[in-house]
């Protein structure tokens, strides 16, 4: 009899997602170069807006842990808007249900993507957000699992994971994946939303 399992219950580590879906972490330094490109300098409007987003988030989180919905409102939605993902030719879906079928073991994994940006039938970037008290490293293998449902074929699929405090990108292509650096809003030397936004903005043109 077929078994149905929620991704959030079955996948809690990279070891689990690798063993269940046959994925391998790439050791090729050029595999995920998109997050390390020489990006265009930010405009004054972009830097001012990103500074306001950071200040607003830090003010709210100082008052207590934030829910996933509030993290999306304060940080994720403004970033997607500013990067151009809410404009044509992109479309946005929220709470998108997905199923990943493992026919060999007769298991179906079910999940729900927080936000999915796509163009025609191509997934551009999916977003997995967690409440601020939640370790975003748990969100990473779950987001990677959701990427298994991508219809992109040989084309890459990207994900942004965040709990509001921290941000990380994932690239999956074929059976390989890799992670970007961890960007933290608590870094004092610069606003880490700058590189996060620059990466998102670059994915608009992929």
Rounded to an integer, the average pLDDT of 7-33 is 92
Q: Is the pLDDT of residue 38 over 70?
A: yes
| pTM of model > 0.85 | yes
Q: Which residue has the higher pLDDT, 141 or 102?
A: 141
Domains and CATH numbers, the chain: 3-203 (3.90.1570.30)
What tens digit of pLDDT does each residue of 71-129 get? 999 999 999 999 999 999 999 999 889 999 887 778 899 999 999 999 998 999 999 98
Work out the pLDDT band at 60, boundaries 50, 70, 90: very high
Q: Which residue has the higher pLDDT, 10 or 70?
A: 70
pLDDT in the model for residue 18: 95
Work out the pLDDT band at 1, boundaries 50, 70, 90: low
Task: Give the DSSP per-residue string, the chain.
Answer: --EEEEHHHH--SHHHHHHHHT-EE---TTTT-GGGS-PPPPPHHHHHHHHHHHHHHHHHHTTS---HHHHIIIIIHHHHHHHTTTSTT-EEEEEEEEEEEETTTTEEEEEEEEEEEEETTEEEEEEEE--TTS-HHHHHHHHHHHHTT---TTS-EEEEEE-SSEEEEEEEETTEEEE-PPEETT-SSS-THHHHHHHHHHHTT-
């Amino acid at each position: 009899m077929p078994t149905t399992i929620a991704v959030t219950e079955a996948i809690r580590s990279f070891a689990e997602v690798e063993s269940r879906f046959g994925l391998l972490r790439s050791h090729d330094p050029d595999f995920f170069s998109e997050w390390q490109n020489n990006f265009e300098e930010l405009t004054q409007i972009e830097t001012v807006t990103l500074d306001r987003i950071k200040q607003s988030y830090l003010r709210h989180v100082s008052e207590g842990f934030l829910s996933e919905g509030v993290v999306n409102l304060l940080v994720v939605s403004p970033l997607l808007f500013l990067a151009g993902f809410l404009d044509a030719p992109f479309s946005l879906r929220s709470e998108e249900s997905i199923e990943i079928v493992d026919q060999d073991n007769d298991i179906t994994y079910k999940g729900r993507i927080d936000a999915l940006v796509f163009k025609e039938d191509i997934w551009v970037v999916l977003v997995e957000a967690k409440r601020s008290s939640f370790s975003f490293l748990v969100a990473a293998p779950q987001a990677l699992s959701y990427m298994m449902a991508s219809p992109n074929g040989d084309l890459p699929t990207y994900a942004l994971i965040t709990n509001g405090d921290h941000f990380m990108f994932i690239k999956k292509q074929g059976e390989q994946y890799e992670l970007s650096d961890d960007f933290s809003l608590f870094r004092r030397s610069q606003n880490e939303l700058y590189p996060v936004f620059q990466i998102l903005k670059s994915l608009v043109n992929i």
